[in-house]
Structure 1
């Protein structure tokens, strides 16, 4: 996977700044704006998969797709929440019985949550790939398929994950401008993520998703 090509992908559209900014403005709408931005990832994936360099139009039509992306990752979020509650309850009970043992349980719980969060982060690109390319609505619950994607395409997946990491850094860079900049950097991150998923699929299937046509 060419990380540079993924970073530059959103800029191939001559109207990319306007579209990215509009999606960012829509993000100011509570909940709906976040779902819309998630759905924009899928729209960008579909465009790049078609070989089209033009970014999807900036509007509020992506909320439905964003909702289903949320559903796709919900099982992973649920596992982390359950672990947090479980260790919190265990730590509280053990602290009442034996304070020292309660502290140990709390420490182990913290390590388990860190490990689970890292695993969820590493699996997120595979989850979105399953949801977009394979149509798995509950992709986050398909643990076997997630592991198969990672293990059978390890080198490609590591590059895929690295690209996602870079996209995340770019998305968070807007915090430098008192957070306002994230209205631009986060939608840009979404467009990058969509392109990365399309390129990963192209590498797995030998398709032509990265052979994008130039923007007119």
Structure 2
């Protein structure tokens, strides 16, 4: 995988600045942000179909539906850690509510262990979700996002590049978050546009991993 090519890919489009600006602005508006997610899903579909081009900003209704479906897929995958956190968080709270020092200390330790387990589960599930998105857009079917044998087979077929993509997503997300936090206002604006640009690069990489 040519990761350098992936990072430059969006700039191949003569209107890339306009397209990134539209996507970035829409991404911060509640509900409307699904359109922005749908745009990325359409790009992912283009790459899987060997069409290396950014989609046009048209058909907003279709983009909204694709983005909403992607959000639902992510929510369903993340239900497991959410349920675990709720159950054990409630249990720890009940333990601490008993009032004794030992119970409070035990509750705090139990809650900390639970958070660690939940974090690890979220990292594992987060590793799977991108390929679930790819399978969904490739087939155009919601259920394709949960065909686990196909998804795991795709991940295994190009495991090294998929891990690199996951690490790139984590590292760049931290960097973008850092930029947004250290520079008042301007940092947020830079992070906003940079984030959407990176989503396009991620989609390019993921699409190529899927078809390889």
Superposition TM-score tier, normalisation by shorter sequence: 0.7 to 0.9
Q: Structure 2 unaligned runs (5+)?
A: none
Alpha-carbon distance in structure 2 between the residues aligned to 1:191 and 1:174: 19
Structure scoring higher RCO (CA < 8 A, sep ≥ 6) equals 1
Residues 33-182 of structure 1 mapped to structure 2, 5 A cutoff: 34-59=33-58, 60-61=60-61, 62-97=63-98, 98-138=103-143, 141-165=146-170, 168=173, 172=177, 175=180, 176=183, 177-182=186-191
Deviation larger for 100-109 or 171-180: 171-180
Partner residue in 1 for 2:198:
189
Write 1 or 2 for the structure with the bigger share of helix: 2
Note closer, same or farther for the CA distance 1:53–1:164 as it changes in structure 2 (3 Å cut).
Answer: same
- After TM superposition, the score normalised by the length of structure 2 is 0.80
Q: CA deviation at 1:21?
A: 0.5
SS in 2 for 1:72: helix
Q: CA deviation at 1:196?
A: 1.6
Alpha-carbon distance in structure 1 between the residues aligned to 2:176 and 2:211: 24
| Contact map agreement 1:174 1:180 (CA 8 A) in 2 | no
Deviation larger for 191-200 or 42-51: 42-51
SS in 2 for 1:115: helix
RMSD: 2.6
- After TM superposition, the score normalised by the length of structure 1 is 0.79
Residue-pair matches, total = 202
Residues 106-149 of structure 1: per-residue CA shift (max 9 Å, x gap) = 12112112212221322232222222224452566555554444
Deviation larger for 64-73 or 192-201: 192-201
Deviation larger for 166-175 or 188-197: 166-175
| Contact map agreement 2:10 2:197 (CA 8 A) in 1 | yes
Alpha-carbon distance in structure 2 between the residues aligned to 1:134 and 1:170: 33
Note closer, same or farther for the CA distance 1:136–1:160 as it changes in structure 2 (3 Å cut).
Answer: farther
